[in-house]
Structure 1
Amino acid sequence: MRKFFQAAAVAGFLCAVLIGQARAGAGIDPKAESLLRAMAGHMQSLAAFSVTEASLVDRVFPNGQKVAYFHKTAIKAERPDKLRAEAVGDDVAATFVLHGPTLQVFDAKTKAYVALDVPPRLEAALEQAMTQLRLVGPMIDFLAADPYASMMEKVLEAVYVGPSEVGGRPCHHLALRQLTQDYELWIDAGKTPWPLRLAVTDKTRHGDPRILVEYQDWKPVSGFPAKAFAFTPPAGAVRTKVAPQPATAGRKP
């Protein structure tokens, strides 16, 4: 027992030292900025890619308990205006297809789908869809015309946490802070700076819910066949409209 206590005390001391160092270096750490620029530049250079997201999304119940929901999403994206995402998980079975100025969303559980008129660029289209459908969008910064500018918008602090590992792959762990959200990003330390994991904590919502995403099987391509971004509602599907959503739902008082 004493041995455990001593080890815990040492670990606590080291943790306090590291936290103190991070706070002392508050601002934009040059190493973190350099790694972020390299990753963002790589994502910006891609004409098209596919990737699989494995995500955990916190939901905060009325009693204050956080409950984890797990999802898996297969994504195909092609700049400047095409995206297909097929999501399955604890509370979702949906297909999202963006092609030019139209985003169609099909919910396999209710057999309902919506078609939205959206701006003709990935970033703007997804931002509008997130607002109208109350979606979460951990991929949106990587799809921006300027991923670095998108990720650094309103960032007050960015620090290099240290080396880490995701799925057996060495990576760099970064932490970024805004007034309303905290981010952590794990970037592949190999030849290609792929984002491997992203964590987002929403400090404006009750319980500070978190989204944790691991990106698997990145595949850059020159483009996809047109049918990849075609959507035909299945037999029995019913088109519906999007109900207005209160902007402050779920926010902290």
Structure 2
Amino acid sequence: MQKPARKTLALTTATILLTAAALLSGGTSGAKAGEADAKNLLKAMSDYMASQKTMSFSYDTNLEVVTKDHQKLLLASSGKMEVNRPDKIRVTRSGGFANVELLFDGKTLTLLGKDANLYTQVDVPGTIDHLVDELRDKLHRPLPGADLLLPDVYGELMHGVTDIKDLGSGVIGGTECDHLAFRNKEVDWQIWIAQGDHPYPCRYVITAKDVDQAPQYSIQITDWKAGDDATADDYAFKNATSAQQVDIEKLGNVDELPTEFRVEGKK
């Protein structure tokens, strides 16, 4: 008697995804109440984040890249972020293509490429919020999860939202979280918020709907500390390795998307 063929992992996963899709496509009772609860949970997280003068956490990011022949590749990196509002931040990030450190002391931005032992400095006087804008719009080197550092996370994330779902509980890194999903014209995004008195974001996932194959970017936060528990540190750059100073254009790979994965110089 011929044995039945074993299901492959891909087939099993596809079955799970189809089942989940069928469940979510059905009508749900209390949708409006669910939307209100989701908004309240996101607003509570936003208020909590804005109220923290000092905070630190470790993070892991995943950035999907889609090739011309529709293959998805996942670029992974890890790091740590230390924040002292209103105008000090230190970020490290280590990935397959870069080992970098960013420091900002309210006046000067320093980017250090540790492997190449090169650094660059840019005058960016102002707050962390101003730095986030400068890094994104002028220097084209956005901070990981920068949306979550702004003073009004709720207002930023809710802009243009057309659909809201409260998906109940989930567990991220052993922490029970409220799982929320949102849609706007350009992206879908999900967020998992720690339950309890410290509603920090545990995971944040963005899906680009208008890009071929809908690639995702995610950041997962662990080792959360805030207030007196957060690490206080000196945010000024100390050139302990005698790194060579160069123009920012010559610094090389410091972005999450390295030059090896760009087409004609564009992301």
TM-score, normalised via structure 2 length: 0.78
2:168 pairs with 1:151: no
Aligned residues with identical type, % of pairs? 24
- Compared with structure 1, are the counterparts of its residues 110 and 131 closer, same or farther at alpha carbon in structure 2 (3 Å cutoff)? farther
State the Cα distance separating 1:92 from its structure 2 match: 1.8
Aligned counterpart for 2:242 among listed residues 228, 235, 242:
235
Q: Distance in 1 between matches of 2:16 and 2:245?
A: 61
Q: Distance in 2 between matches of 1:69 and 1:10?
A: 25
State the Cα distance separating 1:43 from its structure 2 match: 0.6
State the Cα distance separating 1:96 from its structure 2 match: 0.4
- Compared with structure 1, are the counterparts of its residues 167 and 31 closer, same or farther at alpha carbon in structure 2 (3 Å cutoff)? same
Q: How many residue pairs were aligned?
A: 242
AA paired with 1:241? I
Residues 47-67 of structure 1: CA distance to partner in whole angstroms, max 9, x if unpaired? 111100111111223333221
Q: Which residue number corresponds to residue 71 of structure 2?
A: 65
Q: Which residue number corresponds to residue 180 of structure 1?
A: 186
- Compared with structure 1, are the counterparts of its residues 21 and 122 closer, same or farther at alpha carbon in structure 2 (3 Å cutoff)? farther
Q: Distance in 2 between matches of 1:206 and 1:118?
A: 36
Q: Distance in 1 between matches of 2:249 and 2:210?
A: 24
Q: Which residue number corresponds to residue 259 of structure 2?
A: none
Q: Which residue number corresponds to residue 96 of structure 1?
A: 102
AA paired with 1:130? R
Moved more, 47-56 or 213-222: 213-222
Q: Check whether the contact 2:34–2:166 (CA below 8 A) recurs between aligned residues.
A: no
AA paired with 1:181? V
TM-score, normalised via structure 1 length: 0.82
Q: Distance in 2 between matches of 1:11 and 1:117?
A: 49
Q: Check whether the contact 1:188–1:196 (CA below 8 A) recurs between aligned residues.
A: yes
State the Cα distance separating 1:178 from its structure 2 match: 1.9
Q: Distance in 1 between matches of 2:180 and 2:109?
A: 33
Q: Which residue number corresponds to residue 163 of structure 1?
A: 169
Q: Check whether the contact 1:186–1:197 (CA below 8 A) recurs between aligned residues.
A: yes
AA paired with 2:66? V
State the Cα distance separating 1:114 from its structure 2 match: 2.2
Aligned partner of residue 46 in structure 2, secondary structure: helix
Q: Distance in 1 between matches of 2:199 and 2:219?
A: 17
2:47 pairs with 1:30: no
AA paired with 2:266? A
Unaligned runs of 5+ in 1: none
Q: Distance in 2 between matches of 1:79 and 1:169?
A: 26
Q: Distance in 2 between matches of 1:139 and 1:73?
A: 12
**Matching of residues 201-220 of structure 1 within 5 Å:** 201-220=207-226
Q: Which residue number corresponds to residue 253 of structure 2?
A: none
2:80 pairs with 1:74: yes
State the Cα distance separating 1:9 from its structure 2 match: 8.2
Q: Distance in 2 between matches of 1:176 and 1:202?
A: 12
Aligned partner of residue 130 in structure 2, secondary structure: helix
- Compared with structure 1, are the counterparts of its residues 173 and 112 closer, same or farther at alpha carbon in structure 2 (3 Å cutoff)? same
- Compared with structure 1, are the counterparts of its residues 236 and 76 closer, same or farther at alpha carbon in structure 2 (3 Å cutoff)? closer
State the Cα distance separating 1:200 from its structure 2 match: 1.2
- The two structures, once aligned, show a CA RMSD in angstroms of 3.2
Q: Distance in 1 between matches of 2:176 and 2:57?
A: 19
2:266 pairs with 1:249: yes
